[in-house]
Structure 1
Amino acid sequence: MKKNLDKFLQATLVLSLALSCLTLGLHLIDDYDFLWHLKTGEMIVKQGPPLVDFYSFRAEGREWIDAQWLFQVIIYLVYRFSGFAGESFLLAVLVCAIFLLLLKLCWLKEFYPLSVFLCLIAVWSVSFRFNLRPELFTYLLMMAYLLILERNRKQFTLAIYLLPFLQLLWANLEGLWPIGLVLIGAYGIEEFLFNYLSRYKQLSKWLEPGSWQKFGKILFVFFLCTLMSMVTPYLWRGFIFPFHLLIEVTHPSNLVKSIILDNKPVFPMWFKFPFLAVPLLVLLIVSGASFFLNRKPRPAFIMLWLAFLFISLSARRNVPYICFLAVFISCFNFQNSLASRFSSSDSPDKSVLKFLPAIFSFVLLIFFIASVLTGKFYVWDKTARKFGTGFYFEKYPKDAVEFLKKIGWKDRLYNQLAMGGFLIWEGYPEWRIYIDGRLEVYGDELLKLSLDSMADYELFKEDEQKYGFTAVLVWKGERRVIPLTENLLADPTWALVFSDPISMVFLKDTPAQHQLVEQYRLNRVRSIP
């Protein structure tokens, strides 16, 4: 009877984690970069991975190393067969798979409710990154790597030879594939230290024994994975691209880091997001404290925890990595400590430690479901998402785009950064855009000009003369565009032809467009919402 009850509790807790993931993962796709990824997937299916830019009239012909090309193909095929609703379901399934693998990785046999509870805390902390982006596959592969490496650490397994094939997949899915090499390298260094340092009697008391044979095989797998990382459409240039990008992004004067919210350091910015800061702090404190409970420290864990703590605190977008590791490391460190302390199965403290996390887990499940369905969760975390399936078109200038299509306009279009992906999806190849989210293609110089041109009308006019764009689509969701809007309204060579609560369209009064301008020109005062 007791055994059956325990199995029921296990199944219920696992189901609670899965339902939490599905609830938070199932929302309208709202990422600004998603649509250019989707359009690129369509182009790759037709003509192969891109080598140079063809979307923007400013960056046309520049080298484009599309490190996410396989991800783009996957989401395009999903869209082709199941539309935008299928994309939402794919997102939910990926989130669920990531955390179920994490749970398998950190499962505590006697105290499994604690494992589930910590995973749910991680779900809460990581939820702001639940977007259908290439990094989801990085999370998934990170869990797979840790599962294989942990299994091999306990006893050599042939599964370790799957890593080079997974590395090949990773290198073509996302540019963060060096994380795979970091994980393998940390386990390899650990095996080396166990073998070398355990020779000393004073150290052998607190170090686990190692195996030179396992170290040699890990070293061989690391070498194979490094080679596999070069097997992409971009070969050696694709191999060095992530490292080049890392150097640029981490540079103190990097413009991307200063304007993109997710690239900014966690502290002190995270205090503006207390709803997400609380679970993160819980995981950091618990995982840090857990090291003091394990009398035999794992060098790999110390190295990985410190390394990912640094990169996670350096940029908000990297927070998930330390959250995953915090859960895994905490459970591993708790395992031996709790087993030795609660050796008696009848200990009342053991029952409390088992059932209290279970109760908290069910409370979190109810909280997630209730707050998501009422929309409050997405108010508190400031993502403004909507539960459901499909794409969140309401936040985009859909009517403005339909207007341009209706009048048959086809040319170069000035736009803001956030709208680039949407305009690529809606208008390519008839339209060429000014800028989009592929910042590595544009570089700091063009990115800075795109921002400055909204505030400095002289720069805007210089770009107009240089590139010859004949339409401007203004998205009102960005305050920095106000000066440009006022200047366009005051400039007789530009005409306001469309306006609604979220967007405005201006056409250049050129000989080729004069008839359109006269036909659709709006009363400037009366038509602005």
Structure 2
Amino acid sequence: MSSPSDDAPRPESVATAPDGPKAQTTPDDELPDWEPLTPELVEDEAIRGDAMLRHSVLLLAVLLSWTQIADTSLLVRLASGAFMVENGFLPPKTDPFSVSAEGRQWINLGWLADHALGAVYRAGGMLGQNFYLAGKSLTLWAVMLGLLTFWILSRITLARIPTWWNSIAAALALIAVFPTLTAGPVSITLLGASLLMWLLHRADDATKAPSLLLFGALFLFWSNLDALAWVGLALIWGAGIGRFLTTGERLGAASGDRTFLLKAAGVATVAALIHPFHWHVLESPLVLFQSELPEARAYGSIGPHFRWMLFPANDPAFWSTLEWPVGAGVLLAFLTLVTLLLNSSRVPLTHVALFVVANGLAFSAGLLLPAASIVNAVLASLNGQAWYSRTFRQTYSVAWSELAFSRAGRAITVLGLFTLAYLMINGALPGVAGRRLGLGFDWRIRTAIESYATLAANTDDPKAFNGRPDHGDLMIWSGMRPFNDSRLALFSRGGENLLKLHRDVFRALQVVQENVPGTGKPELWKEVLDRYQLKHIYARLTGDDGFAKYSLLQRLMLNPELKLAAVDAAAARLDRADAQAGTPPPAAPQVGIDFIQLAFRGEDVPFTEVPGWPRELTTYERWLIQPEPAIPLEGQLSQHYSYLANELASRLPATSKPGETAHALRILAIRMTQRSLVQDPNTPQVHRVLRDVYRAILGGEQSFGQFGNLNELRVRQLLAAEYFSLLTSAALPADHEQLAYALAAVGYRDVALEHLQAVYRQTGSWTSLGRNHPNFNQARTENQTLLKQLETSVKEVQANANREIQRGEDPIAVARAAFDAGCPRFALTILEPLEPQIVQDPMASMLHAQVLMAVGRIEECWERLEGIESLFPPDVRSAPGVNDIKSIWRSQTAIANMIRGDVNRAVDLWTDEARQLSESSVRGALDNVPLAAALPPRQDLLAFVGGRVAAEVLFTFPERWGSVQMLLAVSEIEHGQLSEARSAVKRIFDVAPRASIRPLAAYYYGILTGETVSPQPPAPEVGDDQPMYQENGERATAVAPDKPPMPVEPGAPMGAPSADEATSPPAPPVATMPPDGM
């Protein structure tokens, strides 16, 4: 519908009879009058749109500041603030926290920030009395500073000029300064820069020029709050020189005294020197460029994020990752240069000087890019506005082209700001593993602090030689005294460079390595550790670089004069074990932790909480908020135990029981994974630990023999861990490949084929290895060969099954045959249409459950098995054959509950199975006693019946009983019920001493109790029942009974493999399958 013309009659112009009745009103009469679009309305619309954009940027500033704290140096500042509160207000002259810098002058330029941060932290602690709650107050502090910074930026504008462009420049600056939008002095740098730019902008107008006292007050506080206050001094001196040189028609040339900013710079410098460390304020740029940045680069990095900030722009490392802040900062600098060129005829030299100083500093160190971006945002805004005001008329019109540009342009800007908010919430802007949205300290710091608190509580000496400076921060917070921490200037200046000494000693502590100079020098590390009276060395175990951190731990453990004394999530502690003079050091790693005692012989540590089922990433998690890859403390510890199990199994001598020690570490890893999965079941790293551990345990137990139900339990646990790893990792090719190998090894061919094909779909190369990997060609060839074999066998099974179905065979029986032939996926396609029939048949339901587990639908398998119980009659004794079916169901359901983590349910089912076995055995014997039951119709069958009963009692029952008791034992071991596990194993010797599972039971009993039990069954007690006569009728001669076998050490039951035929079995061998990565 078109709008009425201006000449159209208005409703109010229609004449009405003065005395007549009032006309009836309609809803249309109540609508506001139509008003033509005028330039004034367009202007009002633009002003409102600009205001909305400015407020959107402020909301984004809040969002980007609302992030978790990932900087460990903040812990030292909090400790410093607490120390100053307890020991006087002013900063200490010497270092009170570290071992090596004790007595050395500590120039803490940001001491006042320590007070402020400490006060905020204590205020949060008063509300929550909790470290995590108190840490949230620090995030809120960062939010307040970030909001204030960008609110000040929004006030720096030219009057009566649209601020649309200002909002775009501020948004780019917001991305560029994201690394520093966190609690600490770095956020004060941004606030100081924005305040300085606001004062400089006001100084361009003689009528609004600020007082020199404001400049002095700013730098008085800035220099005491932030060690980078010298950046502000460099900017104001540059601005002062630029203002002094500004003449002619340039902006600001006629705005009062040309020396005003030089005077302001002088006042600012004097104010900055009003400081406990006075002239050291001016020394801070030298400290930064000569000491702090080079030393941080020497360590690789100090924090987990933004490593590019340590490098100048001419270093490839600055550009290697090209993160969002780098891109935004560089783009903003380029746009600022463009606006300066566009406005070159009138640009004040003040702006040119500010641009040169700010970007020169940013070029020299990425650390200064955020501060430079604040300056660039102001310069780009002001010069863009000035150019726009000179180039375009400053009146509005209703022309469609101008309306389209104004409305569409602002709409696109709003969408851009919305996209920025989405990228922040989603995790794309900071990175999935980066500094994410949230309050308080991030998961890395939280778990590390908890871990170091445990390590500190279990040591008699707080002095520590730490491996990295950031771990020194964590130690200080935990009450320990590290060799160094993140205050790099303290340790690198003032005489001996303690950081270089630290790196030299840390290399000397490691075993000799080829091509790594400085390793294996005991004379160096002993001299330094003796000088500082240090006996504990801590190897960091944090970080995602698994190979690097474990290689470091390995090199330290191979030092024969260090002993592994403690392991926790954040670090491993190694104690000095110097060899005696004249005594050669041991040739194997020394372990001061009795892992066997911890895992098998200690007190009960039951853990029966049931974790949730792992879930595949939802659409919400994929596209809105990507989950943070956080690993609970227990999950991290399980990774360390798994590594140590493999390492010690191959390094320890036979006398140190490497196999039992590795087994103990794997049990500890299982317990930690259960605790971790209760907190978060969707951590693929933890499921991979279970995968590796169960593969090793399966191989070890198989070395004692094949024990049906136990072997099935371990295979199911291994496959479940493989499936859960794949499910929670968003189907990574490497997890597909590992699962394909495991499925092929157990004979599930068609499912293995599916996952090999998935590897090809995702990589196009039949292997998850990169094309530059040295084993790429071999892995591709082997996988292609395996795939062809699987395709051939699967097609054959499918053809046979289809032929049987066409012949009218029972589909359930055909599905069973297909499943037994290694095609569970094909069997599932047969069973799924038969759901109404399956739900009424326990045996069919159990087949369906087995198939579901084989294809990875484990939760559905568990639900199916638990639902079968209702199909059994209340009294199974009255239904022939039902007891045997229920026995199968109990075993399958118990295994499914073990996979789920519900050990109580599994133990109840196996206990019930053991009781039913006992009752069935006794009842079968009593029911067939001639005097207690009717005689068989044929008396000649009486001997057969008696023989069958005797065979059942002597052979079948002991085997099944022993198997169930072993399942109970391993279940209780995994979940910390050690006393119950000992009882279960002992019952095997008491009730079924000749069961074939006895060698494995002897091993477990020995490792659980430390007592010696023979793996051989006891000799028949025939000493008093020897025949009196020989077959020829002559009297037999008494023969002494055979000498009983010598007891065998529990570590080496009969049949157990061993590396050197000693008493201790080695680490369980890995199940046969293609090697990792092949």
> Residue 379 of structure 1: SS of its match in structure 2?
coil
1:43 deviates by: 0.9
Partner in structure 2 of residue 94 of structure 1: 145
- Give distance in 2, aligned partners of 1:476 and 1:507: 16
1:361 deviates by: 3.2
Is 1:448 aligned with 2:494? no
Is 1:263 aligned with 2:310? yes
> Residue 341 of structure 2: SS of its match in structure 1?
coil
Partner in structure 1 of residue 533 of structure 2: 468
Is 1:432 aligned with 2:481? yes
Partner in structure 2 of residue 514 of structure 1: none
1:359 deviates by: 2.5
Partner in structure 1 of residue 444 of structure 2: 394
In structure 2, the CA distance between the partners of 1:60 and 1:122, relative to structure 1 (3 Å rule), is same
In structure 2, the CA distance between the partners of 1:345 and 1:7, relative to structure 1 (3 Å rule), is closer
Is 1:222 aligned with 2:272? no
In structure 2, the CA distance between the partners of 1:250 and 1:456, relative to structure 1 (3 Å rule), is closer
Is 1:51 aligned with 2:93? yes
Question: Higher mean Cα deviation, 347-356 or 101-110?
Answer: 347-356
1:400 deviates by: 3.2
Partner in structure 2 of residue 9 of structure 1: 49
1:158 deviates by: 4.2
1:314 deviates by: 1.6
CA contact (8 A) 1:117 1:358 kept: no
Structure 1 unaligned segments of length 5 or more: list them: 199-203, 512-516
In structure 2, the CA distance between the partners of 1:69 and 1:205, relative to structure 1 (3 Å rule), is closer
String of CA shifts for 1:278-316, please: whole Å, max 9, x gaps.
322321221111122112121111112112212102211
Pairing partner for 1:284 from 333, 345, 369? 333
- Give distance in 1, aligned partners of 2:282 and 2:409: 45
Partner in structure 2 of residue 153 of structure 1: 204
CA contact (8 A) 1:113 1:357 kept: no
1:363 deviates by: 2.0
> Residue 507 of structure 1: SS of its match in structure 2?
strand
In structure 2, the CA distance between the partners of 1:288 and 1:176, relative to structure 1 (3 Å rule), is same
Is 1:422 aligned with 2:422? no
String of CA shifts for 1:426-464, please: whole Å, max 9, x gaps.
11xxx2111101011100722123233333322444432
Identity %: 20
Pairing partner for 2:428 from 346, 360, 376? 376
> Residue 567 of structure 2: SS of its match in structure 1?
strand
- Give distance in 1, aligned partners of 2:220 and 2:352: 27
Is 1:18 aligned with 2:58? yes
- Give distance in 2, aligned partners of 1:439 and 1:476: 22
Question: Counterparts of 1:129-148 in structure 2 under 5 Å?
Answer: 129-148=180-199
Partner in structure 2 of residue 112 of structure 1: 163
In structure 2, the CA distance between the partners of 1:298 and 1:352, relative to structure 1 (3 Å rule), is farther
1:274 deviates by: 4.5
- Give distance in 2, aligned partners of 1:283 and 1:136: 19
Partner in structure 1 of residue 218 of structure 2: 166
1:233 deviates by: 1.3
- Give distance in 2, aligned partners of 1:247 and 1:272: 23
Give the counterpart letter for 1:475 in structure 2. Answer: R
Partner in structure 2 of residue 486 of structure 1: 554
Partner in structure 2 of residue 177 of structure 1: 229
Is 1:499 aligned with 2:575? no
> Residue 473 of structure 1: SS of its match in structure 2?
strand
> Residue 564 of structure 2: SS of its match in structure 1?
strand
Give the counterpart letter for 1:285 in structure 2. Answer: F
1:397 deviates by: 2.6
String of CA shifts for 1:243-296, please: whole Å, max 9, x gaps.
441562599xx4445544322113432242253343223212211111221121
Partner in structure 1 of residue 349 of structure 2: 299
In structure 2, the CA distance between the partners of 1:400 and 1:292, relative to structure 1 (3 Å rule), is closer
RMSD of Structure 2 on Structure 1 (CA): 2.9
> Residue 274 of structure 2: SS of its match in structure 1?
coil
Pairing partner for 1:80 from 117, 122, 135? 122
- Give distance in 2, aligned partners of 1:451 and 1:351: 65
Partner in structure 1 of residue 29 of structure 2: none
Question: Counterparts of 1:199-348 in structure 2 under 5 Å?
Answer: 204-205=248-249, 209-210=253-254, 214-236=257-279, 238-246=280-288, 248-249=290-291, 254-258=294-298, 259-260=300-301, 261=307, 262-267=309-314, 268=316, 269-294=318-343, 295-343=345-393, 344-346=395-397
> Residue 377 of structure 1: SS of its match in structure 2?
coil
Partner in structure 1 of residue 102 of structure 2: 60
- Give distance in 1, aligned partners of 2:486 and 2:49: 46
> Residue 437 of structure 1: SS of its match in structure 2?
coil
String of CA shifts for 1:349-394, please: whole Å, max 9, x gaps.
65455445533432233223323333332227xx612311111243
Count of matched residue positions in the alignment of Structure 1 and Structure 2: 507
In structure 2, the CA distance between the partners of 1:153 and 1:300, relative to structure 1 (3 Å rule), is same
Give the counterpart letter for 1:225 in structure 2. Answer: A
- Give distance in 2, aligned partners of 1:107 and 1:455: 59
In structure 2, the CA distance between the partners of 1:153 and 1:77, relative to structure 1 (3 Å rule), is same
Is 1:29 aligned with 2:73? no
- Give distance in 2, aligned partners of 1:411 and 1:143: 43
> Residue 496 of structure 1: SS of its match in structure 2?
strand
1:54 deviates by: 1.7
Give the counterpart letter for 1:230 in structure 2. Answer: L
- Give distance in 2, aligned partners of 1:219 and 1:35: 39
TM-score normalised per structure 1: 0.87
> Residue 437 of structure 2: SS of its match in structure 1?
coil
Give the counterpart letter for 2:357 in structure 1. Answer: A
String of CA shifts for 1:17-68, please: whole Å, max 9, x gaps.
1221111111111112110011101111222312111211111111111001
In structure 2, the CA distance between the partners of 1:159 and 1:240, relative to structure 1 (3 Å rule), is closer
Partner in structure 1 of residue 462 of structure 2: 411
CA contact (8 A) 1:149 1:160 kept: no
Give the counterpart letter for 2:50 in structure 1. Answer: Q
Give the counterpart letter for 1:467 in structure 2. Answer: Y
Higher alpha-carbon Rg = 2
1:205 deviates by: 4.8
- Give distance in 2, aligned partners of 1:316 and 1:412: 35
Give the counterpart letter for 2:230 in structure 1. Answer: P
String of CA shifts for 1:376-419, please: whole Å, max 9, x gaps.
32227xx6123111112434533432322433533311112121
More helix by share: 1
Give the counterpart letter for 1:374 in structure 2. Answer: N
CA contact (8 A) 2:250 2:348 kept: no
1:224 deviates by: 2.3
Question: Higher mean Cα deviation, 320-329 or 270-279?
Answer: 270-279
CA contact (8 A) 2:291 2:489 kept: no
Give the counterpart letter for 1:100 in structure 2. Answer: W
- Give distance in 1, aligned partners of 2:222 and 2:576: 46
Give the counterpart letter for 1:476 in structure 2. Answer: L
Partner in structure 1 of residue 851 of structure 2: none
In structure 2, the CA distance between the partners of 1:363 and 1:241, relative to structure 1 (3 Å rule), is same
Partner in structure 1 of residue 435 of structure 2: 385
In structure 2, the CA distance between the partners of 1:348 and 1:451, relative to structure 1 (3 Å rule), is farther
Pairing partner for 1:38 from 78, 84, 89? 78
In structure 2, the CA distance between the partners of 1:206 and 1:41, relative to structure 1 (3 Å rule), is closer
- Give distance in 1, aligned partners of 2:175 and 2:404: 24
> Residue 257 of structure 2: SS of its match in structure 1?
helix
Is 1:189 aligned with 2:241? yes
- Give distance in 1, aligned partners of 2:492 and 2:217: 32
Structure possessing the higher relative contact order (Cα contacts under 8 Å, 6 or more residues apart): 1
Give the counterpart letter for 2:277 in structure 1. Answer: Y
TM-score normalised per structure 2: 0.44
